[in-house]
Structure 1
Amino acid sequence: MKKIVSNALYVLFFGFALTLIVACVLLVIHVSRGEGQSYHDIEAVRLSGSTEDEIKYENVKLTVCSDTLGGFMPMQNRYGYDALENDKKKYLYDSLMESVYSISEEADENGHYRISRIRVRGRRLSEFDIREVVNAFINDNPEYFWIENLFGYAYSDEDTIVEFYSVLSAADCDQYIRRFNTRIREILSTVKDGLNEYQREKHIHDTLLGACSYKTGVTTTADGWQYFTSYGAMVEGEAVCEGYAKSMQLLLSRVGIPCLMIRGDAENVAHMWNVVELGGEWYQLDATWDDNDAEGNISYEYFNLTRDAIERNHSICDNIANIMEAAEVEDIDPLVRYNFYVPMCKEKAMNYYYVEGTLIQQLDVPTEELLTRIICERAGNKEAYIPLRFGTRMTFGTYVNKLFYEVPYMFYVCMENANAQLDAQHKLDMSSLSILRNESDMTLRVRLKYQ
């Protein structure tokens, strides 16, 4: 599900008693439009027909690279695996890991390429059990983009036979993996040495959003399996939320940042995003909704939020442990949605506005000097925004009015002062100014344009 900026209200302001500069302030109003379900639920079928002996498998020659940013170990996510409550489920997970590169030479009658069948001896796993294992595997391993959200199963006495499927043949998988590995290495090569956790996260976030566009009109893998994968987002540059979330998890793990996928709803539409751990604290991150600017700029309104903040328009599926405690397994709907781990996410220290935003408590001469300096610094780096965070001495509306709408129009004065210090390549266009407000969090972004 994608949140799209689609409406704008233009308001003219006349200011500056001495310079009579006319400023045009653009207030961007966020309007969300559901595009249907944007991650795909796992389907189950009962096996019949060909026996294992009749199926010929071929091993994929390449494997997904395990490259990381220099000095960092990959952050292997095992929350899905660790949530599996018995050895039979863990055996099925481990067996899928071992067989994921073994793919049938020919597609079946439905166009699916089989991955080697797995026999779980001595236990009849239910559809819910198998689905839980598949969800755990996908949750932990976003790099295996060729696995279909589909499995087949059958029983032989007390054994369970499970078959997984690939969207690609072994030969095609080699070609796709080659392109995938190249793209992973390209992205990692852009991460500069010496960046802290926040900077590495933001760089990966911005790089992905700069290269990927949200694919509208997609509701199932029949519309294109790649849109639901890290391959689609990173290599082909188009994805729905599942592709964004998988890519963020994969890439952040390669630069030493723990990252998990979260399932839930956004304004009543199925959605997927991430949580990230920075400095020992967890934060909510929705890269899909940060990729929503109508002018092509990256938003940071969903960059490292608390759970309370993101739940204003997102709802998080329950932890699977809570679901299983509340009912007998046979009574649980096999299609119920859940997460394997949902951290609390209470801190704000690594939120975009707390790291990069300028805190404004009162509007006086020192604040004017501070704002002028901040504008000079960010314009000097050709930044897209000036993020501001307001204190508690005034209401949100009072801060905004005094900065932008009332004499002496302090923010415009600061821009004029900054322009006097900036060279021609970095001077700001003062004829048009865009303000993006978040009254709930007492934050505001000023979008900069350059001459």
Structure 2
Amino acid sequence: MKKIILFICMFLFITPLFTSYPLQTIAAISGNPEAKMKDSIKSYNLIRSALLKNEPTGTFDTSEVSYKQVGSLIQKVVRENPEILYFDSAMTWSNGKIDFSYTAPISTINKNKAVLTKEVDKLLAKIIKPGFTDFDKVKAIHDYLVTTVAYDQKNYQKNTIPADSYTAYGALIKKVAICDGYTKATQLLLNRLGIENFYVDGYGNGGPHAWNLIKLKNQYYFMDSTWDDPISDVKGTVGYKYFLISSDQLRKGKSIASLTTSAR
């Protein structure tokens, strides 16, 4: 029985493994398992179910996907489901078995996930008011993250970023995150509100970066709450330079001249 080890840590999710696309095609290729992987839906759901339950093992359908190819499917599941916390790597076997490893004990993951779920319910009840349009809801989420979350600059500079900073838990509970945490917190909150959105990655300022693509009134816009949040927080100040902008606007920004976008 053959096996393959996949080191799929959160940082590696923002490496450029796929071709870059203009804005109008991102929506057609991102975040839709039915459209993108119609031949792998069963395996997608099996992997998703196992990871959402923090299971140490899972399975995939060998008639749908090879054990050599299932790594990209695992990546996709984690990228599209921000409720999955602390996934680190996987070992896949040719008989359809997957061994998952996490960066935290299962007891800690279960505890933090419960705390996160409770906080999301509480937060949305607080910031989303009756009569809000989808635009109002997106803005409320953007403003909340910019004003309450601090970029984990200290650990970023030391190359000691903790697992929490890559997650929605880090952003919403610990109030400290890097771009992954901001993006996944946005993704989690928008998912809960039923607003179509996608996790997008690429390059900015010469390094890997992540942000969101959001659909409003049949149009797609980019939103980058990380870059609207200055490293040195100014209380009560919210930036909107990267709030619901087009791909051209995104690329024209001085600090993101080298940015390319990709979606999987």
Checking the alignment, whether the CA contact within 8 Å between 2:58 and 2:97 is kept in structure 1 is yes
The residue aligned with 2:87 is 147
Aligned equivalents of 2:141 and 2:65: distance in 1?
A: 43
| CA pair 212-197 structure 1, distance change in 2 beyond 3 A | same
**3-state SS in 1 of match to 2:226:** helix
1:42-441 residue pairs with structure 2 within 5 A?
79-85=31-37, 87=39, 89-103=40-54, 115-122=56-63, 125=66, 127=68, 129-148=69-88, 150-155=89-94, 159-190=95-126, 191-216=128-153, 217-218=155-156, 223-292=161-230, 294=232, 295-296=234-235, 297-312=237-252, 313=256, 315-318=259-262, 339-340=263-264
CA distance, structure 1, for counterparts of residue 32 and residue 158 of structure 2: 24
Cα 1:121–1:132 change in 2 (3 A) is closer
Give the TM-score, by structure 1 length: 0.47
C-alpha deviations, 1:11-66, integer Å up to 9, x for none? xxxxxxxxxxxxxxxxxxxxxxxxxxxx6115xxxxxxxxxxxxxxxxxxxxxxxx
Would the aligned equivalents of 1:242 and 1:272 in 2 still touch at CA under 8 Å? Answer: yes
Q: 1:223 to 1:135 in 2, by over 3 A?
A: same
Question: When you count helix as a share of all residues, which structure comes out higher?
Answer: 2
Say if 1:119 and 1:306 are closer, same or farther in 2 by CA, change over 3 A.
closer
State the one-letter code of the partner of 2:192: R
SS in 2 for 1:315: coil
* Identical-residue share of aligned pairs (%): 20
Q: Which amino acid aligns with 1:303?
A: F
Tell me the distance in 2 between the aligned counterparts of 1:298 and 1:239.
17
Shift of 1:96: 1.3
Name the SS of the counterpart of 1:136 in structure 2: helix
Paired residue type of 1:40: F
Residue of structure 2 equivalent to 1:55: none
CA distance in structure 2 between the aligned counterparts of 1:185 and 1:232, rounded to whole angstroms: 16
Deviates more, 1:233-242 or 1:287-296: 287-296
- In structure 1, the gaps of 5 or more residues are 1-38, 43-77, 104-113, 319-338, 341-451
- Residues 288-331 of structure 1 show CA distances to partners (whole Å, capped at 9, x for unaligned) of 0001164342211000111101012252344xxxxxxxxxxxxx
Q: Return closer, same or farther for 1:80/1:162 CA change in 2, 3 Å cut-off.
A: farther
Q: CA RMSD for the aligned pairs?
A: 2.5
Provide closer, same or farther for how the CA distance between residues 304 and 122 of structure 1 changes in structure 2, counting only shifts above 3 A: closer
Matches for 1:3-14 after TM superposition, within 5 Å: none
* Residues 154/192 of structure 1: CA separation in 2 closer, same or farther (3 Å cut): same
Alpha-carbon distance in structure 2 between the residues aligned to 1:220 and 1:94: 37
Partner Cα separation in structure 1 for residue 38 and residue 189 of structure 2:
30
Residues 124 and 137 of structure 1, relative CA distance in 2, 3 Å threshold:
closer
The answer to whether the 8 A contact 2:52-2:83 is kept is no
Query: Matches of 2:43 and 2:83 in 1, distance apart?
Result: 19
- Judge which range, 93-102 or 226-235, deviates more: 93-102
Of 213-222 and 255-264, the range deviating more from structure 2: 213-222
SS at match of 2:230: coil
Hey, what's the Cα distance between the residues in 2 that align with 1:211 and 1:299?
13
Corresponding letter in the other structure for 1:203: A
CA distance in 1, matches of 2:167, 2:182: 8
Q: Secondary structure at the residue paired with 2:98?
A: strand
- Give 1:130 deviation, angstroms: 2.0
Question: Which runs of no fewer than 5 residues in structure 2 stay unpaired?
Answer: 1-9, 14-29
TM-score normalised per structure 2: 0.78
Q: Distance in 2 between matches of 1:205 and 1:241?
A: 13
Counterpart AA for 1:299: G
Give me the whole-angstrom Cα distance separating, in 1, the residues matched to 2:166 and 2:75.
14
- Is the CA contact (8 Å cut-off) linking 2:57 and 2:97 kept in structure 1? no
Distance in 2 (alpha carbons) for counterparts of 1:221 and 1:80: 33
Distance 1:101 1:277, change over 3 A: closer
More strand by share: 1
CA pair 122-253 structure 1, distance change in 2 beyond 3 A? closer
